[in-house]
Chains A and B, each alone.
Chain A
Amino acid sequence: MKLRVAGIAVLAVLAWLLPYQLDSYLIHVANVVIIFAILAIGLGLVMGIAGQINLAQIALFGVASYATAILTTRAGFGFWTAAALAMLIVAAIGLLIGTPALRMQSHYLGIVTLGLALALTNWVTNAHIAGGAEGITGIPAPALPGIDLRNDYFFYYLELIVFGLALAFGLFVVRTPLGRKMRAMRDDSLAAGAVGVEVPQLRMTAFFLASIYGGVAGVLYAGLIRYVAPETFSIANMFLLLAMVIIGGRQSLVGCVVGAIALSVLREVLVDYPTYAQVAYGAVVVLTVVFAPTGLAGLPTRARGLLQRWGWLRRDTGTPPKLGDFRPYDTVERPAEQVILRIDDVSMHFRGLKALQEVTMEITAGEIRGIVGPNGSGKTTLFNVVSGLYRPTAGRVWLGERDMTAARPHTLARAGVARTFQNLRLFPLLTVRENLLVALDQTSVLGNWRYALWQPGVWRHDRALRRQADELLDRFGLTAFADAAPGELPYGTQRRVEIARAMARRPRLLLLDEPAAGLNGEEVRQLSEIVRSIRSTGVTVVLIEHNMGLVMSLCERVTVFAGGRVIADGTPAEVARAPQVVEAYLGDSAMSEDVPVATPTEAKR
Chain B
Amino acid sequence: MQVFLQTFIGGMSLGAIYALVALGFSLVFRTMGLVNFSHGNVVMIGAYLASTFYLSTKLPFALAMVLAVGGTGLIGVIIERVLRPLENKDFDLMLIGTIGFGIVLEALAIIIWGATGNAVPNPVASAPLQLFGLRIRTYDLVVLAIAATAAVLLVFFLQSTKRGAAMQAVAMDHEAATAVGIHVGRSNALAFMLGAGLAALAGGLVGPLLYVNPTMGGALGIKGFAAAILGGFGSIPGAIVGGFAIGVLDAFTAGHFQGYSELVTFLVFTVVIMIRPTGIFGERTVNRA
Contact = CB atoms under 8 A, between A and B. Distances in A.
Interface of A: 51, 53, 99-100, 103-104, 106-108, 110-112, 114-116, 118-120, 122-123, 125-126, 190, 235-236, 239, 242-243, 246, 275-276, 278-279, 281-286, 288-290, 293, 350, 380, 384, 389-390
Contact of A279 (B86, B107, B226, B269): B107
A104 B107 contact: no
B53 interface: no
A278 B104 CA distance: 7
Contact of B90 (A107, A275, A278, A293): A293
B263 A119 contact: yes
B180 interface: no
Most buried by A among B83, B107, B277: B107
A396 to B, nearest CB: 20
Interface of B: 35, 37, 82-83, 85-86, 90-97, 99-108, 110-111, 218-219, 222, 225-226, 229, 233, 259-263, 266-267, 269-270, 273-274, 277, 287-289
11 contacts: A106-B35, A111-B225, A112-B273, A118-B266, A122-B261, A236-B106, A239-B102, A246-B96, A278-B106, A278-B110, A285-B99
Contact of B289 (A53, A110, A190, A236): A190
B95 A286 contact: no
Contacts of B99: 239, 242, 285
Contacts of A125: 259
Given A243-B100, A278-B110, 13 more contacts: A103-B274, A104-B273, A112-B273, A118-B262, A242-B96, A243-B103, A275-B111, A278-B104, A278-B107, A279-B107, A285-B96, A289-B93, A289-B100
Contact of B104 (A53, A235, A286, A290): A286
A283 B100 contact: yes
Given A107-B91, A111-B225, A125-B259, A282 B107 contact: yes
Nearest to A273: B111
A289 B96 contact: yes
A109 to B, nearest CB: 10
A231 to B, nearest CB: 11
Most buried by B among A107, A242, A246, A283: A107
Given A114-B222, A122-B262, A123-B263, A107 B273 contact: no
A45 to B, nearest CB: 15
B273 A285 contact: no
A389 B94 contact: no
B44 to A, nearest CB: 13
B35 A119 contact: no
Contacts of B106: 236, 278
Contacts of A246: 96, 100
Given A275-B110, A290-B85, A283 B273 contact: no
A286 B100 contact: yes
Contact of B86 (A106, A107, A115, A290): A290
Contacts of B277: 103-104, 108
Given A108-B277, A285-B96, A279 B111 contact: yes
B103 A285 contact: yes
A107 B35 contact: yes
A111 B226 contact: yes
A380 B289 CA distance: 9
A115 B270 contact: yes
Contacts of B219: 118
B100 A285 contact: yes
A260 to B, nearest CB: 16
B270 A290 contact: no
B112 to A, nearest CB: 10
A282 B100 contact: yes
A190 B289 CA distance: 8
A422 B3 CA distance: 60
Nearest to B91: A106
Contacts of A116: 266, 270
